[in-house]
């Protein structure tokens, strides 16, 4: 059996790289009063920037504090620039594997730039926590944070190539899952939550997971007819169709929107906090509502953008034409392309609405009725966890099928 199809080996490699990433989160940066930093964590300027995908984690400034955030920010920038610059779009859609490798290299260089900017922004806010504040401390801590971010990106790459799933998504998944496990243990043994409350909370989570799985796995079946079917008895069969996912973007719009929102939050609260306009806006529209609206807008934007990059209607129409496959009552060429565009627009609209609802509904209940539906866990985090878990299961099944096929051949 080929190593790349060995599921056990891939699982081992994935766990190995995850263990290294988790280990880095517990290695503190030298020269910082970690106790003071921990006690002031919820009020200091950098907590929101560091806690994008791992709420309730230990408030410690570690070597891997930036995590995968610079890489996600670089991905966001590339996605936005791709829609504006044809050269980048060409790399994504037309140049195949070579184009993807070039784009991946550009993303990594951009990740380094983001890591530098974000590290410096964090270090300049650490003066009250530093034992000895000087130029050496600033340079040393900035380099440590940059190195940590680059190491996490390297670990994510290794998970993608040698393990299971997309490295960045797997790291985010593990961080959220570990935070949630910590929250549950805290509720059970520290706060001594009542069994009935725990059971109702657990039932609500199970129901939410079921809804998420249903929408994530739902497909729109587009019937197709091939030239071979015209001469066979299966001409009117419903077994031949093209599956289009309802939520084509999956969890990526949530991941990209969360990262961008954290950056916007940091800039508004600590970069523009002295401007009178910020206080004026807050009087008219509280920041809580403003950020929820921004979050929803980012999700919808990234969902549309990501879906347009994942599925190219022109290429899809062309590929069907080359394979002598048509959609009943739809002419090949321009008509087929328009059909796919209209269908995908409708599906993306529904998917965007679902993602926005998932984010807004619990926050709305908490803000208006003061009911905390998901105490300690954002529903967007739950969506990421479920979405990544589904992808991991699917990929594992693919390796099992590949193994069985190889055994049959040999």
| Range 226-243 average pLDDT | 66
Residue 32 has pLDDT above 70, yes or no: yes
What is the total count of domains within the chain?
1
Q: In this predicted model, what pLDDT tens digit does every residue of 277-296 receive, in sequence order? A: 545 445 545 567 777 788 88
pLDDT recorded at residue 185? 76
CB atoms under 10 Å from CB of 285, counted, come to 10
Contact 359/292 with Cβ under 8 angstroms? yes
Q: What is the dihedral of CA 389, 391, 396, 401, to 10 degrees?
A: 140
pLDDT value, residue 297: 87
Q: Which domain holds residue 90?
A: 3-409
Q: How far apart are the first and last CA of the chain?
A: 9
Is 50 exceeded by the pLDDT of residue 53?
yes
Average pLDDT of every residue of the chain: 79
Return the percentage of the chain with pLDDT > 70, whole number. Answer: 78
Distance between CA atoms of residues 184 and 33, nearest Å: 29
Q: Please state the rounded mean pLDDT for residues 369-391.
A: 71
DSSP 230: G
Q: What is the domain-level CATH number for residue 362?
A: 1.10.3370.10
pTM for the full model?
0.78
Helix and strand numbers (H, E) in the chain are 15, 4
The pLDDT-based confidence of 192 (bands split at 50, 70, 90) is low
Q: Enumerate residues 6+ apart whose C-beta is below 8 A from 230.
A: none
Average pLDDT for 163-170 = 89
């Amino acid at each position: 059996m080929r190593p790349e199809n060995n599921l056990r080996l891939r699982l081992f490699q994935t766990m190995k790289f995850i263990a290294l990433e988790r280990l880095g989160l517990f290695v503190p940066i030298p020269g910082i009063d970690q106790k003071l930093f921990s006690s002031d964590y919820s009020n200091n300027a950098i907590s929101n920037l560091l806690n994008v995908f791992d709420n309730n984690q230990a408030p410690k400034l570690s070597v891997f504090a930036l995590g995968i955030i610079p890489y996600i920010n670089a991905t966001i920038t590339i996605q936005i620039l791709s829609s504006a610059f044809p050269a980048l779009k060409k790399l994504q859609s037309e140049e195949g594997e070579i184009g993807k490798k070039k784009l991946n290299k550009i993303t990594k260089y951009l990740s380094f730039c983001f890591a530098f900017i974000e590290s410096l922004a964090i270090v300049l806010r650490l003066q009250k926590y530093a034992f000895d504040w000087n130029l050496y401390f600033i340079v040393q801590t900035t380099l440590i944070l940059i190195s940590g971010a680059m190491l996490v990106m390297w670990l994510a790459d290794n998970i993608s190539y040698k393990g299971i799933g997309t490295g960045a998504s797997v790291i985010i998944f593990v961080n959220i899952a570990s935070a949630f496990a910590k929250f549950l243990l805290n509720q059970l043994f520290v706060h001594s939550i009542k069994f009935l409350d725990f059971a109702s909370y657990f039932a609500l989570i199970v129901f939410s997971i079921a809804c998420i799985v249903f929408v994530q796995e739902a497909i729109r079946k587009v019937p197709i007819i091939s030239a071979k079917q015209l001469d066979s008895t299966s001409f009117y069969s419903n077994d031949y169709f093209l599956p289009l996912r309802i939520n084509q973007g999956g969890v990526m719009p949530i991941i990209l929107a969360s990262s961008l929102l954290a950056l916007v939050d940091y800039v508004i609260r600590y970069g523009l906090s002295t401007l009178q306009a910020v206080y004026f806006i807050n009087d008219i529209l509280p920041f809580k509502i403003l950020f929820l609206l921004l979050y929803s807008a980012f999700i919808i934007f990234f969902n549309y953008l990501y879906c347009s990059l994942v599925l190219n209607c022109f290429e899809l129409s062309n590929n069907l034409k080359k394979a002598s496959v048509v959609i009943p009552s739809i002419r090949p060429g321009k008509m087929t392309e328009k059909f796919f565009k209209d269908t995908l627009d409708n599906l993306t609209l529904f998917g965007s609405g679902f993602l926005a609802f998932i984010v807004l509904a619990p926050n709305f209940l908490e803000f208006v009725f003061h009911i905390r539906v998901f105490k300690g866990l954002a529903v967007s985090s739950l969506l990421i966890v479920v979405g990544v878990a589904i992808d991991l299961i699917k990929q594992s099944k693919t390796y099992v099928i590949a193994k069985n096929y190889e055994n049959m051949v040999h």
